[in-house]
Amino acid sequence: MITPPPAMQQALQELLGPSGYLTDPSSLQEYGRDWTRFTPPAPSAVALPGSIEDVQAIVRLARQHRVPLVPSGGRTGLSGGAVAGQGEVVLSLARMNRILGLDTVGRSLSCEAGAITGNVQAAARAEGLIYPVDFASSGSSQIGGNIATNAGGIQVIRYGMTRNWVTGLKVVTGTGELLELNKGLIKNNTGLDFRHLMIGSEGVLGIIVEATLALATPPRDPRVMVLGAPSMTAIMAILEQCQGALSLLAFEFLSDLALEKVINAHGLQPPLQARAPFYALVEFEDPAQGDDAPILTLVENCMASGWVADAVLSHSEAQRRSLWRLREDISETIAKWTPYKNDIATTVANVPILLERVEALIADRYNDLEVVWYGHIGDGNLHLNILKPESSSVDAFQQRCATVSRELFGILSDLGGSVSAEHGVGLLKKEFLTFSRSKTEIGLMREIKKLLDPDGILNPGKLIEL
């Protein structure tokens, strides 16, 4: 366990003042963890800088005293990337949350790293634009954290990941230097683009302090449809039909157990009269402005092929939102079972073979446990959540699931897939990184870390070691 020396504690107190340097037990608990519950939080302090200069000063102090820092955003991560369990100092960007400017001609927004995603989205909407990266945790996640984890979400099939929307970054490296990367430019062919090294680097190379984000035109009249399907094979067939006929914004799936958990927890009505093993939730731009005929034709064709048993289509914004809840509320609903989360991806073309093999593995290894499936199947990303039975200890459960994960990741590795599609590597997926990245790649990551964080003070123990 690390304890910052008294000289560093005093320097941080003087720099940040009483509201910027916290050591009370409840703040340590709150800031020391993310949404994972496998490692108990145990930071020694929380530093809340108010400016880039503060961040630089904190990094220099940490470097001088060799005390590790855990960069921290909204702490909604699911891989333990923001967990501080070793007496580290948490460096929270929560006070640096201002939106700095919005350019309607250049269609971009600049903000500090601690800006809440939902506030950025609202600022864009107020000007008739959108920041299109969206997910259930947008009300508390922060832009800096989204960038550090290259967050995905529910509309990646249409808009891509966070990486696609970052046009400028300010980052403080592990030596306290400030890098200004790409400066909001759309075109800039001047050699290596370090912005992309930082996006998805999980706080091990630098601390993101400001960002410039591209904005987009809002989609035209989004509508949502939920379709009940007999199998995952049918879900893939529905996807193909929808790809051809609709301008898709999202194509999600959930299992009946996922639906059951959400409707029971929130007292909601099932969306369809007949229950089905799986459901597709499809969002698309209204193809014929309120004329449902083309959509109904698509659904009828799917029914005739046996891929769809029943379907419901939104006719109002309220209905669209309530259908989305069935999917967006899953993660929070199942959190009480301390789920072991697999966030896997393959190419969309390989999804059917992956599903076949994963379904067989689950039947074999988890036949006594509840397995909740959902995910962004339209972009090849599946979330496989194993719910912890009350009778199991957290440790025993985690070990058992980690053993099965090795088999799962073996399947993925054969198919060239990813062991972490959008949640990041953090603590929980670190031991499995070799299933997705070669030894050479991991070695290069390490060399790059040495250059930018020579003393290894930034988020040690996560993603890669020095």
SS3 content of the chain, % helix, strand, coil (to 5): 40, 20, 40
Applying CB under 6 A, among 75, 261, 383, 430 the residue interacting with ligand MLT is: 383
Task: Show contacts with ligand MLT in window 262-301 (CB under 6 A).
Answer: none
Separation between Cα atoms, residue 444 and residue 447, nearest integer Å: 5
Nearest distance, CB of residue 324 and ligand MLT, angstroms: 11
- Whichever of 212 and 331 has its CB closer to ligand MLT, that residue is 331
How far apart are the C-alpha atoms of 258 and 377, rounded to whole Å?
15
Pick the closer one to ligand MLT by CB: 110 or 405: 405
136 interacts with ligand MLT by CB under 6 A: yes
C-beta of residue 382 within 8 angstroms of C-beta of residue 415: no
The distance of closest approach from Cβ of residue 148 to ligand MLT in the complex, given in angstroms and rounded to an integer, is 16
Q: Which residue has the tokens 């630089």?
A: 56
Least distance in Å: CB of 250 to ligand MLT?
11
Residues paired with 343 in a beta bridge: 383, 420
The binding track of 81-120 with respect to ligand MLT, each residue x by CB under 6 A or -, is ----------------------------------------
- Tell me: does residue 259 bind ligand MLT (CB under 6 A): no
Rounded to a whole number of angstroms, the minimum distance from the CB of residue 330 to ligand MLT is 6
Q: CB 49 → ligand MLT: shortest distance, Å?
A: 29
- Assess 146 for contact with ligand MLT (CB under 6 A): no
> How far is 89 from 104, CA to CA, in rounded Å?
39
Q: How far is the CB of 179 from ligand MLT (least distance, A)?
A: 29
For residues 151 and 141, the answer to whether their CB atoms sit within 8 Å is: yes
Q: Six-digit token pair at 400?
A: 């058992």
| Smallest distance from ligand MLT to CB 251, Å | 13
Structure tokens at 380: 């090849």
Residue whose beta carbon is closest to ligand MLT: 331
Strands 89-92 and 69-72: parallel
**C-beta of 327 vs 430, nearer to ligand MLT:** 327
Whose CA is closest to 198, among 121, 119, 145? 145
Nearer to ligand MLT, 194 or 366 (CB): 366
Is residue 198 within 8 Å of residue 150, measured between CB atoms?
no
Question: Closer CB to ligand MLT, residue 78 or residue 90?
Answer: 78
36 or 56, CB closer to ligand MLT?
Answer: 36
Instruction: Report in angstroms how near the CB of residue 348 gets to ligand MLT at its nearest.
Output: 17
Alpha-carbon distance values, 308 to 245, 253, 319, 321, 322 (Å) = 16, 13, 21, 22, 21
- List of residues 6+ apart from 131 with CB closer than 8 A: 109, 117, 120, 121, 124, 165, 213, 215, 216
68 or 424, CB closer to ligand MLT? 424
**Of these, 142, 150, 155, 331, which contacts ligand MLT (CB under 6 A)?**
331
Q: Which is nearer to ligand MLT, 202 or 422 (CB)?
A: 422
Nearest approach, Cβ of residue 100 and ligand MLT (Å): 28
- Tokens 């008294």 locate to 6
Closest C-alpha to 308, from 224, 222, 223, 226: 226
**In this complex, which beta carbon is closest to ligand MLT, that of residue 92 or of residue 333?**
333
C-alpha distance from residue 142 to each of 46, 113, 341, 442 (Å): 17, 7, 22, 27
Nearer to ligand MLT, 210 or 422 (CB): 422
Helix/strand/coil for 262: helix
The answer to whether 375 and 346 are in contact (CB under 8 A) is no
What's the closest the beta carbon of residue 138 comes to ligand MLT, in angstroms?
Answer: 11
Least separation in angstroms between CB 456 and ligand MLT: 29
Name 418's bridge partners. Answer: 345
Q: What is the DSSP letter of 435?
A: G
**Nearer Cβ to ligand MLT (84/372):** 372
Least distance from C-beta 136 to ligand MLT, angstroms? 5
Produce one character per residue of 396-412: b if its CB has 16 or more CB atoms within 10 Å, e if not. ebbebbeebbeebbebb
Q: Provide the mask over 419-438, with x wherever binding to ligand MLT is found by CB under 6 A and - wherever it is not.
A: ---x----------------
In the region spanning residues 40 to 69, those forming contacts with ligand MLT, defined by CB under 6 A, are: none
Cβ nearer to ligand MLT, comparing 152 with 460: 152
The residues facing 46 across adjacent strands are 22, 90
In a 10 Å sphere around its CB, with 0-12 CB exposed, 13-18 middle and 19+ buried, how is residue 419 labelled?
Answer: buried
Binding-residue total with ligand MLT (CB under 6 A): 6
The residues binding ligand MLT (CB under 6 A) are 78, 136, 330-331, 383, 422
